[in-house]
Each structure stands twice: as C-alpha cells, then as structure tokens.
Structure 1
Amino acid sequence: MNLKTIKRKLQDAHREFIGSIDDESIVKIVNEKSFITGGAIVSLLLNEEPNDYDYYFMDKESCKKVAEYYVKKFNKRTNNHYDVKVEEKENRIRVIVPSAGVAGAKYKEGYLPVFVSSNAITLSDDVQLVNRFYGNPEEIHKNYDYVHCTCYFIPHNNELVLPQKALESIVTKELKYVGSKYPLASVIRSRKYIQRGWSINAGQYLKMILQCGELNLDDANVLEEQLTGVDLTLFRDIIEQIKIHSVKPDFVISTEWISEVIDQVFDGEGAASSDNEE
C-alpha cells in the first residue's frame, strides 16, 4: 500500500471517529492534541486491515479531559454505576476501576466505551484511547518495546512519520527489541508476531529477560502492572486473583502459587485460545 493511500485511510478513520464526538471541545482536543501509533500503521504498510487504532495524547490536560469524557459516557451507559474516576497519580492519568477492568454493554458501532482499565479506554469501532502515557511521539515511544511499532500519524498535520529502523523491521518482519517499561509484556507479546510469520532471534529474548530480572515480580502491584501491559482481557482472571490475595497480611507471590493460578486460568486450551491481544 503506497504512502498516499495509507495517509488517506488513517485520515478517513480519524474523521469518522471525531465525527462521533458530541462535545466540540473534545473534538478539538482529539483533532489537535492526539496521534495514532502502533500496530495500525504496521498493518497498513503490510497491506493488512488494522485491528484497531491506538490514540495517544500530547499533554496531561488533553489526556485527562478525553478520559473524563468517555468515563462519563461509560457510567451513563452502564446500569451498575461503577465508581470509575480519573485521577492524577505519579504524573500520569489513571482511570480507577473496582477490579481488573470493567466491561460495558457490547456495542458494535458508535464509538462507545465498551471496556475501561487503568491504562486505556476501549471504544467500539476499533479505537483505543491510551491514558497510561502522554507526551510527544518520541516520549511515548520510549515506553514501546519493538521498533516496528514506532511509526506514527498526526491527523492535525496529516503527517505520517516512518522511522528507517521501523521500516527495516517491517520489511524483514524481524522483531527488534529496543527496551520497555513492560519487558514481561514484551516477551508474551512476541507470540502474536510469531504466529503472524515474524521472526525473533535469541538475543532479543535475552535483552527482555535481562530487563525482567530487574523487576520485583514478587510484588503484586508490579506483576499486575506488567500483565496489564500485555492484554487485560487475557490476564484478567490472574490479575483478579492477585488483587484478592494481595490484601492478605504478609502475602508474597511465590513461583508455586502463581504457577497454580496460571494453570487454573489456562486450563487446557479454553482461555488460551481466546487470546486476542494487540
């Protein structure tokens, strides 16, 4: 797919999304203070249809206002009246949910919030609004793991940026790990790429494992954060077990305990076969 066509598809998807927003101030923010990055652009470069479009925001205030807008819609459309709030903590925007995540009604269209987690808000029509990080693309990509995901599109300027190293990785379909805040997530994420015909050498895995060694995975909060960085739906049950047990005095995540939980959740092929991570 040529670059002109890719930009047109991205711009069309963006216009359709902002056309669904009923607050002009939010339209302005999404139009002028956001960018699309991640797997959607990779898919288009490979002549594939994107599974979804990941939006990031360039500053804290924009990220917060958009999160508040969709959390309000989410609460209005769910009958359970969950206590979902947006708070600023550790210089980030976090949506506070009562469990690993809160699923709403299953809307097929209309860009309505269907799933809320502490890291992102998932909308129908294949849009995800990421609130875990905010900043310019270069700052956001410091948190990314694989170099091929660092292409980005700025709708306001109709600007498509394709770093050379990212293009090389995409053309060869070879995973190149550049470091991440979520190395455990990166190890697990590699599975989906291998299933799609990508390759990865042992050195890339070694880099991820070395970073994992710097994590205190016995800490329930650290493990939860790492698993949330992969795919919340895939690890929701495990995260729930961690939350339940972590309130107990002197609870420590042992290898034996977490192995038993994993085997229970991924018993046979049932849960594992539902893997739809992005």
Structure 2
Amino acid sequence: MNSLEETVKQTIKTFEDNKIKEMFQFEKNKLYAYLEEIKDSLIKHKAFIAGGTITSLLNGSDINDLDIYFRNEESLIDFLKEHWKDDNSYVTGLTKKSVLMISGKEPKIRNVQLIHFKYFNTPDEIFETFDFTACMGAYDFSTEQFVLHQQFLKHNSQRILKFNKNTAFPIVSLLRVQKYNGKGYTISKPEFIRIALKCMELDIKTVEDLKDHLGGMYGINYDKIIDFEEGEEFSLDKVIDKIADIALDEDYFKEPISVKYEDLDDIIDTVKKRPIHILTLRDKYFRVTNDNQLKSISTKAAFSKDIDADKYFENKRFYKWVEKDGYGKYRSHYDGDFKYEDGRVSTALGDKLFFNEKQNITYSTYWNKGVLIEVSTKPVDFIDKSSEHIYLKSCTVIREVPKTEWKQWVNEGEDDHESVFDWT
C-alpha cells in the first residue's frame, strides 16, 4: 500500500470514528449521567462496561445493572479500595467470577458487577467470552467510545440470538435463553442445539466444577441448593435428581438476601485467588492481612493456610510511644519507673505490655508523645490482639524510629487513619 492509499484509508477511518462519536453522543451522555461518581474512576482505570448495559442503552431500555471489566488485577483492586469507604458503595456478593457491589443511594441504586475471572485488553477479548452477539457491545473508558460487534446492531434489531461457541459458561447461556425470550428475542433450533452440544464438552467431575458453571445465576443460586453430603459420591445423574427437587426447597421463592461484606481483605484475597493466611497463638486464630496486620478470627476458613509462628515473628515488629530521658533511656508513660533499653528484653511487671502495629500508631493513648520505639517478640510472649492494641508479656527493643520515618507512615495512610496530619 502506497502513502496515498494509506492516507485515504486513515482519512476514511477518522471520518467513520467521528461519525460514530456523533451517532452515540446521546447514549454516552446518558451513560455518564447514570454512572455519576464512579465515572471518573472508570476513566482513571481504563475499564470497560460491556454486555446488557450497552444493549439497554442502544435499545432505549432502562439499565438494570453494570458489568465492569478491567485490564488487570491491580486496576480492579484499586477501584475497590477507592470506593470501599464511600458511604454510597458497599459489596454484597463475592464469587470466583465477580464482586457484586451496590453503588448510589435511593432513589438511584446501581447494581455493579466487577468481573475478575479474567482480565481484558480490548473489547474484542471480552466479546470472545460472551454467549450471544446481541450482548457484544462495550464502552471503552480509555478511548471514551462505544465498540460494537459487527452483528450487534443487526441481531438486536432482528431480536435473534446467535451463539458464540467460545463462551466461558455455556450452561449459563441455556438459562439466559429464557431471559432473552422474555424480552422478545428468539433462538433457532440449530442455535439451541449448538449451546447444548457445547455443554456436552464440559468436564464436570466434582461439585466445585459444577458450582463454577452455575454460581451466581439470576434469581436463586442453584449452586447453594445442588449440594452433596460429606462423603457422597458425585455424579451428574444425582445432580439431575437434585435439580428436580429445587422447587421444593424453601429458598426457591425467596429473594436473595443482600449481605454487606465488612472485610476488604476477604474480597481482595478472592480476587487474587489466594488462600487466607492463619496464625495460631495461644489456641486462638489470627488472620494475617494483606498489609501484614493481625486480625482475630473465631474460626479457620476451609481454604486457609497455616503460617509458622516462629518464622512470622522473626520479622514482625510492634511499636510503642515512650518518654526518653536525658540519659537516653526509654521510660513508660504509664509507669515512669519501667524502662525499655535497646537490645534488651523488657518483661511486664503486671499482666501485659501495650503496643500497636505500624498501621495503628496514631490510635495509641500516648500518640505523638515522646518517641516511638520498635520492638520484636516471640510467639510465646504474644498474649492477644484487640482492634487497635497488641498485648505482649515481654519484648526486645530494636530501635527508636526516626521522626521523619513515622511521619511518612502516617501521611501515606499506612495507619488506616481517616485524616492526614499536617506537620507544618
């Protein structure tokens, strides 16, 4: 292709892109008005919205929910963190495929699904996992443009379903046929057979395999009802019998209960697909969070992973505000006669010594009074953990933390404090 042909081709493409922008400007404005405060986050993380939202926008229908796709895991997690403390957003569901979030407040509540079973660089990659061409529409926040499959508009105007054999969850597609029928779409017998044949290719040998393909469907969660007793041998024939009794289950006619997730670490661990790390101390369980804090828990999760306590405490540090006298000795604020010395073991005269983890130094009773010391301890000397304090029987002073260093911790928000301190 010579330079003239290339120029003509590029000119035509630019013209077409501009026409598309003009054509869908109304829908873009409508989408942004619907998104409100989460719009800027989606642009920042170059996310995609794809599927039913786009179909509804272009059909002139009401938007029921948002399916948001990300380019990478980090972007999804950052999005979650940004909205975690937002009073208008909270997580209500968590599966291997997605995080379900409620955003907004009455009368404008948005149901948001953050997809994490896979990450995508282009809308076409997303379309490859979709089941029907009628839902292969996307909005790319990196370019702020709609991207449509070449058959998207045609098949929506004809109200027909054409199946994509590369879809990730074909059993879901069978269930979605009924949903689309209710919206006036039809599917031919050959297309329906294609879905059935694709389902026959699935290698489902365990309950977990089945749940991966059934979890989080519209309405009732089939994966919670089709369950096997401990030791019961799995077979699809048994599953078929269990499905026959679904309508007899007391939960069949109940609306799904909305649960508010309180622990961001649980969500992030699920997104990262990693086990929860557990430390057992004095017959109590402590979860090691993503930022290395200890969190008391009542029971161990089935997917937890035990940590060696001795190895963990080799590098774990705790902190305490103390007075520093004219001789360079560290004295307790509570008891001026109790001393801490570099490199030496200090043992509680009473029941325990009080410390904080790095993230909670501003919650100390003596916050920013005197100097901050860093200590280590052994598992045998660890007593307990409250929401903000660590209780130890004894400790060894490692060092005095420089003021510039702990100021940086606080201003970087590592202590999970809501405010940022002004040191000027």
TM-score (norm 1): 0.71
- Which residue of 1 is the match for residue 24 of structure 2? 3
Alignment of 1:90-105 (within 5 A): none
Q: Do structure 1's residue 208 and structure 2's residue 195 form an aligned pair?
A: yes
- Cα gap change, 1:46/1:183 in structure 2, threshold over 3 Å: closer, same or farther? same
Give the one of 64, 72, 96 matched to 1:51: 64
Amino acid aligned to 1:189: R
- Asked whether the 8 Å contact 1:146–1:176 carries over to 2, the reply is yes
**Shift, 1:268, TM fit:** 8.4
Give the one of 123, 126, 130 matched to 1:140: 126
- Which residue of 2 is the match for residue 253 of structure 1? 235
- Cα gap change, 1:212/1:49 in structure 2, threshold over 3 Å: closer, same or farther? same
**Shift, 1:274, TM fit:** 5.5
- Which residue of 1 is the match for residue 185 of structure 2? 198
Amino acid aligned to 1:119: K
How many matched pairs? 225
**Shift, 1:232, TM fit:** 7.7
Partner SS for 1:198: coil
Amino acid aligned to 2:150: Q
**Shift, 1:49, TM fit:** 0.6
- Asked whether the 8 Å contact 2:46–2:70 carries over to 1, the reply is yes
**Shift, 1:138, TM fit:** 1.6
- Asked whether the 8 Å contact 1:143–1:181 carries over to 2, the reply is yes
**Shift, 1:15, TM fit:** 3.8
Amino acid aligned to 1:157: T
**Shift, 1:145, TM fit:** 0.6
The alignment's C-alpha RMSD in Å is: 2.9
- Cα gap change, 1:155/1:12 in structure 2, threshold over 3 Å: closer, same or farther? farther
More relative contact order in 1 or in 2 (CA 8 Å, sep 6+)? 1
The answer for unaligned runs of 5 or more in structure 1 is 20-26, 78-108
Question: CA separation in 2, counterparts of 1:164 and 1:157?
Answer: 19
Larger strand proportion of the pair = 2
Amino acid aligned to 1:121: V
Q: Do structure 1's residue 185 and structure 2's residue 206 form an aligned pair?
A: no
Give the one of 115, 119, 123 matched to 2:97: 119
**Shift, 1:233, TM fit:** 4.3
- Which residue of 1 is the match for residue 408 of structure 2? none
The answer for unaligned runs of 5 or more in structure 2 is 1-22, 103-109, 257-424
Q: Do structure 1's residue 130 and structure 2's residue 115 form an aligned pair?
A: yes
Question: CA separation in 2, counterparts of 1:36 and 1:181?
Answer: 18
Question: CA separation in 2, counterparts of 1:163 and 1:216?
Answer: 30
- Which residue of 1 is the match for residue 33 of structure 2? 12
**Shift, 1:153, TM fit:** 0.5
Bigger Rg, structure 1 or 2:
2
Q: Do structure 1's residue 165 and structure 2's residue 124 form an aligned pair?
A: no
Q: Do structure 1's residue 155 and structure 2's residue 141 form an aligned pair?
A: yes
The C-alpha deviation readout for 1:194-225, integer Å capped at 9, x for no partner, is 01111000111111111111112343222111
Q: Do structure 1's residue 42 and structure 2's residue 28 form an aligned pair?
A: no
- Asked whether the 8 Å contact 2:160–2:186 carries over to 1, the reply is yes
The C-alpha deviation readout for 1:27-57, integer Å capped at 9, x for no partner, is 3x76332010000110111111110111000
**Shift, 1:273, TM fit:** 8.3
TM-score (norm 2): 0.48
Question: CA separation in 1, counterparts of 2:193 and 2:250?
Answer: 28
Larger helix proportion of the pair = 1
- Cα gap change, 1:233/1:118 in structure 2, threshold over 3 Å: closer, same or farther? farther
- Cα gap change, 1:69/1:132 in structure 2, threshold over 3 Å: closer, same or farther? farther
- Asked whether the 8 Å contact 1:184–1:227 carries over to 2, the reply is yes
The C-alpha deviation readout for 1:172-205, integer Å capped at 9, x for no partner, is 1101101212111111111100011110001111
- Cα gap change, 1:32/1:254 in structure 2, threshold over 3 Å: closer, same or farther? closer
**Shift, 1:150, TM fit:** 1.2
**Shift, 1:63, TM fit:** 3.0
Question: CA separation in 2, counterparts of 1:210 and 1:254?
Answer: 16
Give aligned-pair identity as a percent: 24
* Bigger mean CA deviation after superposition, 29-38 or 53-62: 29-38
